[in-house]
């Protein structure tokens, strides 16, 4: 039977309400357990879903106001504001239905009339915004049911429930039980007015019950977040690839120290219990990379993969990740070639993204994977239902080799090796490659600790009182008085970087205190913790104010080394300093980088537009210029302007070089502009540049 005939038959049966629905495209999937198969086009498309929606009478997939509007040929004719949320819900419904069909077999599924029980494990059932912890899929605190009741009823009653009601017209009812550490406790409660779908929420960690549900689904399971070695525990595939033994993991979980733990670590014991039960379990992932790592982890704990396929249901508008040229502050910092120190945060990001580079360039993973809820579905079961073959010498030898190859330390060494190899890939940015080569396990000298460094001790009570007093004076507008008060406080706490910054800020408002201001800001940098970004950032801005752009740039990048998550401010500041140097093309590149990081900044967008015009005019005006001399007082022309800004172009030889004889053909009254026409081009043509 061809697909068109099958589709017509299924839709006719479904419309008549005589059977549960089988979307024929889903019968054609392949077992997507390799990068090439995972990257293949999914079996289903909007055409299939839209044709079914048109068949149910009102052209909608769900109840309520959210709907997908289709045209006469079954294509998407319009996008509603709610469509992205709707498609996310429909994917959940389709996943449940396909899991049920593949668990029961087509014939039993189509004729199923008895109630269907569904356990959904690990999902929060929580529609509030989640805080993000860098480098991990973190859990969040439990939200009271009353805060999410309306949103959950909309999602599970109208959207998911509405879709399930259309796909399972013969089923008596559906009972969903949600289990997870973020779920509020809730007795079975009707989510639809007709009572057809009920939802029960259980706060806690899942354990296989005595009587299995018809479908048990690990939604967005997080099994990809870490790697599961053969000797227990987990190995992080992020940062320094830290190893946690099973005992260490149990200890942290028991103590509630979950910060920084990926869900993969937390899930291992639950998944091992599932595998041991011998039952069939289903799991979903957002993208092909996550799917493939989940497959690897499941195999690592002895599971058999029975189904693995892309669902094909893409969220609208589609979302994707550019893994070889990612966006964001840390990624932009790694692409910037300016030579500077490396912060722990930037290094950890470099190691993580290097591993992805290796997976893509060497392992065949997708460079631009799509990301949408339940994009990939797999099913697994354990040895209880599929016992291993009888032991043999060859089998025992292989098993020993496999386990030795996949111990925690072996896995970590392999991850480190792959990250090091990424340094030699042709598309790895030079700074990124240098950071990788500097690591101890890549042959460098830097050893990055697994844990964050210990923070500096807090201020003493005496110092805190003195700083509070100084701040009150500053709030009153008396800059000189506040500076005096901060000096007193700093005697009680001379290594207080924030105090030195505050002193400098007050002194900067006092006439004639430039030297003292600069000294305060420099002292703040000298005593600051390596990760404290404010002292170098403040000193950089003051250097720019003094028209000392080269020193400003050095301090801006020192701030980036302290904390690259301030890289948007760094690039905006460097752009300003480059403009002071008359390097307008470089300034434009810096402003564009800052604008990429803060696209909502209208002022910065205007600066980019203005700088584009000025840089183009300067390039045209200076095309034929050459410096008349190589150096001024022994300093190259370009370095003179870079150090002091274009204002130095008005300085004469006598003012800058004293009694040193001027070059042949020039008098002592010759300006830097006359001596260095190319380096001073932005000064010369300032009126035309705007």
| Angle (CA) 491 492 496, round 5° | 85
For residues 232 and 135, membership in a common domain is answered with: yes
| Residue 62 CB neighbour total at 10 angstroms | 26
For residues 537 and 652, membership in a common domain is answered with: no
Distances in Å between the alpha carbon of 169 and those of 338, 441, 485, 594, 600?
A: 63, 59, 77, 54, 47
Last residue of a domain, one of 291, 323, 355: 323
Contact 560, 530 (CB under 8 A): no
Q: Pairing relation of β-strands 116-121 and 197-203?
A: unpaired
CA distance 521 to 655: 29
In the predicted model, is pLDDT for residue 480 greater than 70? yes
For residues 496 and 636, membership in a common domain is answered with: no
Contact 664, 566 (CB under 8 A): no
Structural domain containing residue 475: 461-618
Helix (H, G, I), strand (E, B), or coil: what is residue 559? Answer: helix
Q: Is residue 315 a part of any domain in this protein?
A: yes
For residues 660 and 590, membership in a common domain is answered with: no
Mean pLDDT of the 670-680 span: 97
End-to-end alpha carbon distance in the chain: 72
Report residue 607's pLDDT band, with 50, 70 and 90 as the boundaries: very high
In the predicted model, is pLDDT for residue 399 greater than 80? no
Q: Is residue 360 a part of any domain in this protein?
A: no
For residues 583 and 682, membership in a common domain is answered with: no
Mean pLDDT of the 579-607 span: 95
Q: Is residue 166 a part of any domain in this protein?
A: yes
For residues 230 and 297, membership in a common domain is answered with: yes
Q: Is residue 429 a part of any domain in this protein?
A: no
Q: Give the DSSP H/E element, type plus range, for residue 416.
A: helix 408-422
Contacts of 90 (CB under 8 A, 6+ apart): 49, 61, 62, 159, 160, 163, 313
Place of tokens 């390097």: 583
For residues 551 and 648, membership in a common domain is answered with: no
For residues 178 and 318, membership in a common domain is answered with: yes
CA distance 133 to 260: 7
Mean pLDDT of the 514-529 span: 96
Whole-structure pTM value: 0.81
CATH code, domain carrying 488: 1.25.40.10
Q: Is residue 435 a part of any domain in this protein?
A: no
Q: Is residue 136 a part of any domain in this protein?
A: yes
Contact 314, 370 (CB under 8 A): yes
Q: Pairing relation of β-strands 281-285 and 304-310?
A: unpaired
Last residue of a domain, one of 274, 291, 323: 323
For residues 602 and 651, membership in a common domain is answered with: no
For residues 75 and 147, membership in a common domain is answered with: yes
Last residue of a domain, one of 583, 618, 653: 618
Specify the pLDDT at position 539.
97
For residues 169 and 81, membership in a common domain is answered with: yes
Distances in Å between the alpha carbon of 140 and those of 123, 126, 128, 182, 222?
A: 11, 10, 11, 6, 14
Peptide bond before residue 317 is cis, with ω within 30 degrees of 0: yes
For residues 229 and 137, membership in a common domain is answered with: yes
DSSP string over 245-274: -HHHHHHHHHHT--TT--HHHHHHHHHHHH
Report residue 315's pLDDT band, with 50, 70 and 90 as the boundaries: low
Q: Is residue 84 a part of any domain in this protein?
A: yes
Number of independent structural domains in the chain: 3
Q: Is residue 378 a part of any domain in this protein?
A: no
In the predicted model, is pLDDT for residue 429 greater than 90? yes
pLDDT tens for each residue of 553-589:
999 999 999 999 999 999 999 999 999 999 999 999 9
pLDDT tens for each residue of 34-74:
787 777 776 776 667 667 767 765 556 566 654 444 333 33
């Amino acid at each position: 039977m061809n697909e068109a005939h099958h589709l017509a038959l299924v839709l006719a049966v479904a419309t008549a309400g005589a059977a549960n629905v089988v979307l024929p495209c889903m019968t054609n999937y392949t077992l997507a357990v390799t990068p090439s198969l995972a990257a293949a086009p999914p079996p289903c498309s909007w055409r299939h879903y839209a044709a079914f929606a048109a068949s149910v009478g009102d052209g909608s997939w769900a109840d309520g106001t959210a709907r997908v509007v289709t045209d006469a040929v079954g294509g998407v004719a319009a996008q509603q504001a709610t469509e992205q949320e709707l498609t996310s819900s429909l994917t959940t419904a389709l996943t449940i239905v396909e899991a049920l069909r593949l668990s029961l077999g087509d014939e039993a599924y189509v004729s199923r009339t008895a109630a269907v029980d569904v356990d959904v494990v690990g999902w929060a059932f929580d529609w509030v915004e989640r805080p993000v912890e860098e480098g991990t899929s973190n859990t969040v605190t439990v939200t009271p049911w009353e805060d999410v009741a309306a949103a959950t009823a909309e999602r599970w009653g109208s959207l998911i429930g509405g879709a399930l009601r259309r796909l399972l017209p013969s089923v008596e009812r559906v009972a969903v039980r949600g289990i997870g550490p973020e779920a509020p406790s809730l007795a079975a409660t009707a989510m639809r007015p007709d009572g057809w779908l009920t939802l029960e929420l259980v706060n806690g960690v899942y354990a296989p019950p005595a009587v299995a549900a018809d479908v048990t689904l690990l939604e967005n399971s997080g099994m990809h977040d870490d790697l599961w070695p053969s000797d227990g525990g987990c190995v992080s595939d992020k940062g320094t690839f830290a190893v946690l033994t099973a005992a260490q993991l149990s200890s942290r979980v028991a103590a509630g120290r979950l910060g920084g733990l990926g869900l993969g670590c937390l899930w291992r014991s639950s998944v091992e219990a599932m595998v041991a039960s011998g039952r069939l379990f289903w799991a979903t992932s957002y993208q092909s990379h996550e799917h493939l790592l989940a497959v690897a982890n499941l195999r690592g704990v002895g599971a058999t993969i029975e189904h693995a396929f892309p669902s094909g249901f893409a969220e609208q508008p589609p979302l994707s990740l550019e893994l070889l040229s990612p966006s964001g502050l840390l990624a932009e910092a790694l692409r910037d070639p300016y030579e500077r120190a490396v912060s722990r945060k930037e290094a950890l990001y470099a190691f993580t993204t290097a591993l992805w580079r290796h997976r893509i360039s060497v392992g065949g993973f997708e460079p631009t994977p799509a990301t949408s809820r339940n994009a990939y579905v797999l099913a697994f079961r354990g040895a209880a239902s599929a016992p291993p073959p009888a032991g043999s010498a060859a089998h025992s030898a292989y098993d020993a080799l496999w386990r030795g190859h996949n111990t925690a330390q072996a896995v970590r060494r392999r991850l480190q090796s792959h990250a090091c190899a990424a340094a030699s890939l042709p598309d790895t940015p030079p700074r990124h490659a240098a950071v990788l080569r500097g690591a101890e396990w890549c042959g460098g000298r830097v050893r990055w600790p697994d844990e964050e460094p210990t923070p500096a001790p807090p201020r003493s009570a005496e110092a805190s009182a003195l700083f509070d007093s100084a701040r009150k004076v500053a709030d009153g507008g008396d800059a000189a008085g506040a500076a005096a008060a901060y000096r007193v406080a700093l005697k009680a706490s001379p290594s207080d970087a924030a105090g030195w910054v505050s002193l400098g800020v007050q002194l900067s408002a006092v006439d004639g205190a430039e030297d003292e201001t600069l000294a305060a800001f420099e002292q703040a940098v000298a005593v600051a913790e390596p990760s404290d970004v404010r002292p170098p950032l403040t000193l950089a801005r003051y250097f720019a104010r003094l028209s000392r752009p080269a020193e400003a740039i050095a301090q801006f990048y020192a701030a980036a080394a302290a904390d690259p998550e301030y890289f948007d401010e760094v690039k905006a500041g460097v752009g300003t300093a480059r403009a002071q140097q008359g390097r307008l093309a470089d300034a434009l590149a810096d402003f564009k980088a800052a604008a990429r990081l803060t696209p909502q900044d209208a002022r910065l967008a205007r600066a980019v537009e203005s700088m584009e015009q000025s840089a183009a005019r300067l390039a045209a005006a200076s095309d034929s210029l050459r410096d008349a001399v190589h150096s001024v007082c022994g300093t190259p022309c370009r370095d003179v302007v870079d150090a002091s800004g274009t204002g130095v172009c008005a300085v004469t030889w006598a003012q800058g070089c004293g009694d040193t004889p001027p070059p042949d053909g020039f008098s002592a009254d010759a300006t830097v502009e006359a001596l260095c026409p190319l380096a001073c081009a932005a000064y010369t043509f300032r009126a035309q540049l705007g």
